[in-house]
Each structure stands twice: as C-alpha cells, then as structure tokens.
Amino acid sequence: MKIKTDKYILKWIKLAGFILAGFILSYFLAFSNTIQLYKQSNENNSLIIEANELPFTIKKLERKVKENEEKKFKVSGLDSLTSRQKILDLFASASSEYTFSVKEVSPTYVSSQDSLNTELSVFTLEGNFFELLKTWHFIENQLYFGKINAGRFYVNEDFRLNIKKLNLILYVELLKNKKK
C-alpha cells in the first residue's frame, strides 16, 4: 500500500510542477507582453489627456506672464515724490511683518531716453539676512509701478562698538513718460 501512495503523491507533485511550469511559461510568453502593453496604454492615455489640455495651459501661462510683465514694467504716471512715498509706504507695511530698519534713502537718479524717463531710487536697509531677504521678496511682489533692478548685501562694521551689521541696498527702477 505504501508503494501505491508514494506513486500517487509523486504523480500529484509532477502535476503541480507541470501546472506551475505552465503558469510561468504562459506568463513570460503571453501575460508579460499584455501587462506591458496595458501599462504603456495607460501612459499614452495620460499623455493624450495632457496634450489635449496643453493649449489651455499655454494660454493660462501666457496670461500670467503678460500680467506679470504689465505689473513689473508698467510705465508710471506718478511724479517722483509720490512714487518714492509709495515705495516708503511699502517699506512701512513690510516692517509690520519683518524686522528691519531703513537706514538711508538716496536721491533719485534720472536718465532720459526717447519718450521715457528712467528713475533709479536707492534704499539701504539694515537687519538680519532672512528678514532682509523676506522684505526684498515682499517689496518685489507688491511693487506694481516699478521693479527692483538689483540688490546688494554688505556688512557694515562699527569699530568703536565692535558690532557688525548686515545691510541691503535695493535699487528700484521706475519708468515714466516724459512730460511735454
């Protein structure tokens, strides 16, 4: 009886082995290609959806760029005193959020070319690095009638008190129509 059960078990083991080998063989011959094509089809469908939405996305981005250009390079009708006062008001609103002090407000430099006057105002701020950087970002985003052309950090050292202070010089450019 033992010999019959051993043969019976051996047949079941062989059958299980053949079934397993059949599954493995069928996976590599048929199912792997099907799964790969299914994944590729999903990727292609997502690319098609993105391609269909692309004109709307491009128009939206073009509108944003145009708004930002108008915002940054808008020719101002304000006079020098009013524009400087508005910039100082921006510094005042920024000082409620960030810790810094305005150390110097230099005179405005004016240059003319064709029908435009370019005014360059220079402001010196003092504070710690992160607060000055946040202030720079705040002013740059809120300034709608000009733009910040450049900024320069430097350390000012007071030898009498042995204190080092970080300063930021902001160069604000305003474009204005020439008055006739």
Q: Which homologous superfamily is 80-177 in?
A: Ribosomal protein S6/Translation elongation factor EF1B (3.30.70.60)
3-state secondary structure of 160: coil
Q: Model-level pTM?
A: 0.53
pLDDT digits (tens, 9 = 90+) for 114-160: 777 788 888 999 999 999 999 999 888 887 777 888 899 999 888 88
pLDDT digits (tens, 9 = 90+) for 27-74: 888 778 888 888 899 998 888 888 888 788 888 888 887 776 655 544
Provide the pLDDT confidence category of residue 167 given band limits of 50, 70 and 90. very high
DSSP state of 144: -
Domain ranges of the chain: 1-72, 80-177
Q: What is the mean pLDDT of residues 1-18?
A: 79
Q: Name the helix (H) or strand (E) containing 166.
A: strand 163-177
Q: What is the mean pLDDT of residues 92-98?
A: 87
Write the secondary structure of 44-110 as one string of H (helix), E (strand) and C (coil).
HHHHHHHHHHHHHHHHHHHHHHHHHHHHHCCCECCCHHHHHHHHHHHHHHHHCCCCEEEEEECCCEE
Burial class (CB in 10 A: 0-12, 13-18, 19+), 94: buried
Helix, strand, coil fractions of the chain, as percent rounded to 5: 55, 30, 15
